[in-house]
Amino acid sequence: MEKFVIHHADSLQGMVRVSGAKNAALPILAACLLTQEPCVIENVPPLTDILNMLEIIRGFGAEVSYDQEKESIVICAKELTSLESYYEQAGKMRASILVAGPLLSRYGQAKLPHPGGCQIGSRPIDLHLKGFHAMGAKSKQEHGIIELTAKRMKGTSIYLDFPSVGATENIMMAAVLARGTTVIENAAAEPEIIDLADFLKGIGANIQGDGTDTIEITGVKELTGSTHPVIPDRIEAGTFMVGAAITGGDIILQNVREEHLKPVIAKLAECNVKIETVPEGLHVCRKGKLQPLQLKTMPFPGFPTDMQAPFMSLMALAKGTSVITETVFENRFTHAGELLRMGADIRIESRNAVIEGVEELTGSKVRATDLRAGAALILSALAAKGETEIGDIHHIERGYYKIDEKLRALGADIQRQEEN
């Protein structure tokens, strides 16, 4: 097991390139199972979750090659030899459920273990199953295994009780080869949904309304191959933006899309952070003392739940009282306890975190309880006096590619060491 050892950074300075979005890449990789022809997916960093998804896809008999240096993946699912996924990879991450839609759409069956992932709250797959059932599939769950069967998926109207990103993606993929037209109402509208739709359209799917709350998919008989670059990771971009803010830094982000970051940009502007587009990318610098915030996580285009933990680190040093309301996941304040070890003043009241800004944070031994919590601890460590040790960094590396190298290039003192 490895840990990060971090010392105080006076300010982050320089230029950093944001990697491709893991949360966009994972459903697109699963969608490659829909076609017999080769697909080339570009701008995909070799994160743990990406490597696990590729192992799952290989397990079905698909041919997979990955040039990690060029961050380019070629998948050819011409002849699958199995429609069953195994626990070793699928049980490690939430996104493993995304292979269900493609397999049902193309083959009418799938067998996979209940998905794993970060323990940030209840993330049931009932909305996925609700969509599959409405399209004519049957499901059976025994001993942690989900078995799905369908003669042929049929188009229908599906209303999601919550605009779940994963359920929207899975139903979209299940519908592209279904008979007739499927309409998803109260659909998720995140940029990752649009990126998946763009890939699916590129291989011949008929999709309209992606990026709105109503998506219409008319099934086609077959799909082709395509080359598709994955969008930049808006959460990684947001994390580096908070890094500049919390250290009083001045950085330029490359490979970003400003339209994906509007809620983050708006909140950073409220606390004295200036963000502007320049020829090289997005320029981020702090202008004055950090101001407290009131923010509430919401589905896109609201404030992203994945940015809640990094902003809690930022608010811990803002002058005054901040309140963060988490509406998406009920167990996403586990980082608060670790931040308290560093001298933060945080009180949790149900789904609200009340943060009283302190003059300074101090280094401590802490642990990453999940992916975004780990990012929050890195940010706090950069601003804290003294040395911070962060354990369980495998959580962080599920979603941030070479984050220590990127931070060192900006002037951070962060080292990777073996845990004792």
Structure confidence by residue, pLDDT tens digits, 272-311:
999 999 999 999 999 889 999 999 999 999 999 999 999 9
Q: Is 285 a catalytic residue?
A: no
Per-residue pLDDT, averaged over 107-122, amounts to 70
Report whether pLDDT(109) > 90. yes
**In the prediction, which pLDDT does 331 show?**
67
Amino acid in the structure at residue 76: C
Res. 92 pLDDT band, cuts 50 70 90? low
Res. 142 pLDDT band, cuts 50 70 90? confident
Report whether pLDDT(118) > 50. no
**In the prediction, which pLDDT does 234 show?**
98
CA 247 from chain centre, in angstroms, equals 24
23 belongs to an annotated ligand binding site: yes
Class of domain 22-225: alpha beta
**In the prediction, which pLDDT does 236 show?**
98
Q: What are the CA-CA distances from residue 115 to residues 96, 131, 141 (Å)? A: 6, 17, 13
Q: To the nearest whole percent, how much of the chain has pLDDT over 70?
A: 96
Report whether pLDDT(90) > 70. no
Structure confidence by residue, pLDDT tens digits, 327-373:
886 667 889 999 999 999 999 988 999 999 999 999 999 999 999 99
Structure confidence by residue, pLDDT tens digits, 232-279:
999 999 999 999 999 999 999 999 999 999 999 999 999 999 999 999
Per annotation, catalytic residue among 32, 39, 118, 285: 118
310 belongs to an annotated ligand binding site: no
**In the prediction, which pLDDT does 361 show?**
97
Distance CA 347, CA 353 (A): 6
Three-point CA angle 404, 410, 416, nearest 5°: 20
Class of domain 2-19+232-418: alpha beta
Structure confidence by residue, pLDDT tens digits, 193-244:
999 999 999 999 999 999 999 999 999 999 999 999 999 999 999 999 999 9
The closest alpha carbon to 308, from 270, 334, 273, 289, belongs to 334
Give CATH 3.65.10.10 domain extents, the chain: 2-19+232-418, 22-225
**In the prediction, which pLDDT does 350 show?**
87
Per-residue pLDDT, averaged over 10-28, amounts to 97
Question: Which residues 6+ apart lie within 8 Å of 279 measured at CB?
Answer: none
DSSP state of 179: B
286 belongs to an annotated ligand binding site: no
272 belongs to an annotated ligand binding site: no
Distance CA 158, CA 181 (A): 11
Report whether pLDDT(175) > 80. yes
**In the prediction, which pLDDT does 117 show?**
46
Distance CA 180, CA 150 (A): 15
Q: What are the CA-CA distances from residue 318 to residues 80, 145, 295 (Å)? A: 54, 47, 14
Report whether pLDDT(413) > 60. yes
Average pLDDT value over all residues in the chain: 94
Structure confidence by residue, pLDDT tens digits, 31-65:
999 999 999 999 999 999 999 999 999 999 999 99
Distance CA 260, CA 53 (A): 25
**In the prediction, which pLDDT does 336 show?**
93
Burial of 418 (0-12, 13-18, 19+ CB in 10 A): exposed
Report whether pLDDT(136) > 70. yes
Distance CA 412, CA 375 (A): 14
392 belongs to an annotated ligand binding site: no
**In the prediction, which pLDDT does 88 show?**
66
Per-residue pLDDT, averaged over 320-333, amounts to 86
Distance CA 389, CA 367 (A): 8
DSSP state of 354: E
Question: Which residues 6+ apart lie within 8 Å of 245 measured at CB?
Answer: 268, 271, 273, 284, 286, 290, 314
Lowest-confidence segment of 81-95, 141-155, 225-239, 400-414 by average pLDDT: 81-95
125 belongs to an annotated ligand binding site: yes
**In the prediction, which pLDDT does 238 show?**
98
Res. 121 pLDDT band, cuts 50 70 90? very low
**In the prediction, which pLDDT does 143 show?**
82
124 belongs to an annotated ligand binding site: yes
The closest alpha carbon to 227, from 81, 70, 90, belongs to 70
**In the prediction, which pLDDT does 120 show?**
41
